[in-house]
Amino acid sequence: TPGTRAALAPAAAASSTKITTRWTWANGTKLTATKVTPTALPKSACTLKVKHSQGKGAMQYGVLPNGVGLGLSRTGQLQQFTKAGAKPYLKGRTPTEMYMITTVGKTVYGTNAAAVLYRFDGPHAAPKRMTTLPLWGYDDLAITGGRVYFTRTVFLDGDKKMRQEVVSRPLTGGAIRVEAVGARSPRVTDVGILAVGVPAVISTADYSDQEKLSGIVKLGGGKATPFLKFSRSTLAASVGEGPWNFAASGRTLTLPQAGTAGQLVVNLRTKRAWNIPSGKGSTPAPAGVSGSLAAWGEARPPMDPITNKVYFFDVDRGTARVLSTRIDFPLPLANGRAVTWQTWRADGTLDVTSIAVK
């Protein structure tokens, strides 16, 4: 069947159509993108790793480099989603009900309802209690160099205003350090820690104020410096999530519907960029990215999933592919060359598919 074996072919002849974007690099150079029309993902050297039901009420949060999915049971137990179905990640029970899962290569991190961060080094190793996070107000974690980075929201003036800042704390515990004020959503990449630049203080009542941004910033030395600048201060509502949920990892950055129609994909090392158009009436969802690979689904505003396509792009090859397959949640997950996505049955049963793309 389509999608059981698939691969990204060597780079095909790319379109020569150049489009302008609303982005400029920090040195003032405009970011231009090559428009690439995706072709069907061929059946070749990429292997199906998982295609199986994983039980009722389960939710997937990550994938290991070998294609095995990671998620939580309806009771918050850490599970592996394998080709034979769901299995406990640990031989014993997870020490506490997990709330969120983050993967860094083969290492798994999980937070519980009390915002305690645990590290899981494998099914046969005892989980390690690490540090604690705020009880609320943080988004996806970025973990590198022995520290965990996250967004902290501070309310001001009787909750009429708020300040967003990226902070970090040692994984072993210790004081929280402010990395940058007026930034959110940190991402670990080959060129450093990137984040979304936002106003230092914004109104909690004015939604348009909350959409203002300066672009993508790079963190270092306790401040945020411009990395990619956006030419307008406010994104139109029609762009969906835009760079609020930009994805970046390894040498790949994606900016769905932000200043271009379609997905904007950037090679952070070479600064080459591509634009991959979406189907009529649809927008690209935020991507799962790792290394040189990005994968995403499509949605109709406001993020209603379109359930029949998964897109792939490799920034080393400059190739765009599309796979016709069912996907109920338009955000695939990637780790190394493994890509996974999920669907649900009417009775709430979770089905997981994952492939290893060569």
Residue 227 pLDDT > 50: yes
pLDDT at position 259: 55
Pairing of strands 283-284, 293-300: antiparallel
Kindly report, residue by residue over 8-32, the tens digit of the pLDDT.
444 444 456 998 888 899 999 999 9
Global pTM?
A: 0.89
Alpha helices in the chain (DSSP H): 207-210
User: For residues 198 and 194, which has the higher predicted lDDT (pLDDT)?
Assistant: 194
Kindly report, residue by residue over 308-357, the tens digit of the pLDDT.
889 999 999 999 999 988 888 778 999 999 999 999 999 999 999 999 98
Residue 203 pLDDT > 80: yes
pLDDT at position 236: 46
Among residues of the chain, what percentage have pLDDT more than 70? 85
Helix (H, G, I), strand (E, B) or coil at 192: strand
| DSSP state string for 210-278 | HTB--EEEEEETTEEEEEEEESSSB--GGGTTGGGG-EEEBTEEEEETSSSSSEEEEETTT--EEEEPP
User: For residues 203 and 257, which has the higher predicted lDDT (pLDDT)?
Assistant: 203
- Amino acid at position 145, single letter: G
Q: Pull the structure tokens for residue 301.
A: 């505003």
Phi and psi at 302, nearest 5°, equal -100, 90
Kindly report, residue by residue over 128-186, the tens digit of the pLDDT.
999 998 876 556 799 999 999 999 989 999 989 989 899 999 999 999 999 999 998 99
Number of neighbouring beta carbons within 10 Å of residue 53: 15
Taking the C-alpha atoms of residue 14 and residue 35, their distance in angstroms, rounded to an integer, is: 8
- Amino acid at position 354, single letter: S
What strand order describes the sheet that includes 47-56? 47-56, 349-356, 338-344, 333-335
Q: Average pLDDT of the chain?
A: 85
Taking the C-alpha atoms of residue 152 and residue 66, their distance in angstroms, rounded to an integer, is: 33
Residue 307 makes CB contacts below 8 A (sequence gap 6+) with 326, 327, 328, 343
Taking the C-alpha atoms of residue 330 and residue 39, their distance in angstroms, rounded to an integer, is: 19
